Amino acid sequence: MTSTSPRPLQVLGWRPWLATTVTTLVLTATTILAVGCVPRFPAPRVEVAGTDEQVARGQYLATHVTICITCHSVRDWSFYGGPTTPGTEGLGGPTHPDFFRLPADVVLPSPNITQEGVGSWTDGELIRAISGGLRADGAALFPAHPYFQLRRMPREDLEAIVAYLRTLEPGSVALPTRDLVYALARDIGNTLPLPPQPKKAVPKPGSVESGAYLAEVGNCKWCHTPTDTMGWPILGQEFQGGAGFLVPAPGGGRVFSSNLTPHPTGLGSWTREVFIARFKNATPEAIRSSTVQEGAFNSPMNWAAYSGMTEQDLGAIYDYLSTLRPRNNPVTPWVPGEGGSALLSD
């Protein structure tokens, strides 16, 4: 081979590749904008009976597992894990966007989900919003509301949650106006909702499958999986921890989620009993017995809410996490310093 023989890659260089990529992106963006593309799919026709059993199951899920109430209520960051302020359940949450890992200038409150907010929505429209991401008027919700995680929730559990929402005491708290800031973010957000694909039945309580289900709908996976620069969970790194969150005032700095895989840098040395006790001991009373000092460590994980999960469900989550591939990922839990972002309600 002589020095003048063609070396295709170098001859082509990176420019044509870049041009192709840019062209593809522009075409895709134009198509999205042109179609104006909020996906449409019908709300299921269903009337939720609202039996005592459904309300009880819905309350359990919404408060302690799927933590609807954590996001859709006022949280008190002067206590560890930001427990819900009693009396504000479902009235809406002026939650700081960094919890959703969005740019700091995005304003995205969690709306009022009592009858005062969604009283005119049908049961089917609520089910479609919760698990599919479309509001009653057909507008898209931003996936900070976890409709991707709730997409496969069986109808039975969704109906139970709706039954519970209907019993919430109406009222209101001051919420900022939603502002996604960038037109592009809005347009991309509008293309995201997908029709739900409900599982046929709720997995058998206590089973590993149940643990997988609870870790998904309970948002454990979302917070304990690192995200890329676009905010999407990185495939193949599920549950390995290391996702960063600004600690809201009065705390400060940045806190990182723990590695939940069965590796020594994760839950490798935790027994099932230790895992369950870690949750059961974080009762609202215990959490409220000491306050977070200025600039100190705090966590976005609402331990007080999760402490109400049953030992059977916590055990199932542990059993499921134990089946994951161990991942060597030592996580620095907390970096003090900047952070301490003021809540939008302040």
Binding site for ligand HEC (CB under 6 A): 62, 66-68, 71-72, 108, 110-111, 113, 117-118, 126, 129-130, 135, 141-142, 144-146, 150, 161, 165, 178, 218-220, 223-224, 245, 255, 257-258, 260, 278, 299-301, 306, 317, 333
> Which residues, 6+ apart, have CB-to-CB distance to 234 below 8 Å?
225, 226, 227, 228
d(CA 163, CA 57): 9
Instruction: Tell me the closest approach of the beta carbon of residue 183 to ligand HEC, in angstroms.
Output: 15
| Structure-block tokens of residue 157 | 């559990």
State which residue, 126 or 292, has the beta carbon closest to ligand HEC: 126
State which residue, 25 or 106, has the beta carbon closest to ligand HEC: 106
Instruction: Tell me the closest approach of the beta carbon of residue 111 to ligand HEC, in angstroms.
Output: 4
State which residue, 55 or 220, has the beta carbon closest to ligand HEC: 220
d(CA 77, CA 74): 9
d(CA 153, CA 128): 11
| Structure-block tokens of residue 303 | 């331990």
Bridge partners, 75 (sequence order): 84
Instruction: Tell me the closest approach of the beta carbon of residue 122 to ligand HEC, in angstroms.
Output: 12
CA 11 to chain centre: 47
Instruction: Tell me the closest approach of the beta carbon of residue 30 to ligand HEC, in angstroms.
Output: 24
Query: Alpha-carbon dihedral of residues 23, 27, 29, 31, nearest 10 degrees?
Result: 180
d(CA 245, CA 50): 37
State which residue, 304 or 317, has the beta carbon closest to ligand HEC: 317
Instruction: Convert 59-84 to b/e letters by CB count within 10 Å (16 or more is b).
Output: bbbbbbbbbbbbbbbbbbbbbbbbbb
Task: Name the nearest CA neighbour of 313 among 157, 199, 205, 154.
Answer: 205
* Cis-peptide into 250, omega within 30 deg: yes
State which residue, 32 or 270, has the beta carbon closest to ligand HEC: 270
d(CA 151, CA 143): 11
Instruction: Tell me the closest approach of the beta carbon of residue 231 to ligand HEC, in angstroms.
Output: 13
Instruction: Tell me the closest approach of the beta carbon of residue 34 to ligand HEC, in angstroms.
Output: 23
State which residue, 72 or 327, has the beta carbon closest to ligand HEC: 72
State which residue, 210 or 258, has the beta carbon closest to ligand HEC: 258
Cβ of 39: how many Cβ atoms within 10 Å?
16
State which residue, 111 or 233, has the beta carbon closest to ligand HEC: 111
State which residue, 68 or 212, has the beta carbon closest to ligand HEC: 68
d(CA 164, CA 59): 6
Cβ of 159: how many Cβ atoms within 10 Å?
23
Element of type H or E holding 339: none
Instruction: Tell me the closest approach of the beta carbon of residue 87 to ligand HEC, in angstroms.
Output: 19
d(CA 122, CA 224): 34
Instruction: Tell me the closest approach of the beta carbon of residue 198 to ligand HEC, in angstroms.
Output: 13
Instruction: Tell me the closest approach of the beta carbon of residue 6 to ligand HEC, in angstroms.
Output: 53
